[in-house]
Amino acid sequence: MTSLDLTPRLTDPDALFEALVAAHRDLSPEASRRLDARLILLLANHIGDAEVLAEAIAAARAAGEGA
């Protein structure tokens, strides 16, 4: 069984954030949500492990509960 690895690996997280912001620029809220959904599905397919994805979903949900 593989588990979710939360070790930071992005060499330039600010550049990734900027790319995400740029991808959403000029999109309607609905188009922005569709873009997010497509990106999530592409990355989930890349990961390909349902247990790891379930851990990621739980971690993301837990992180959002404190907001």
Domain coordinates in residue numbering, the chain? 30-67
pLDDT the model gives residue 66: 72
Q: Given a cut of 90, is residue 65 above it in pLDDT?
A: no
Q: CA neighbours within 13 Å on the CB side: how many for 59?
A: 10
| % pLDDT > 70, the chain | 97
Q: CA neighbours within 13 Å on the CB side: how many for 64?
A: 6
pTM of the model: 0.84
Place of tokens 């922005």: 32
Q: From the CB of residue 3, how many other CB atoms can be counted at a distance below 10 Å?
A: 9
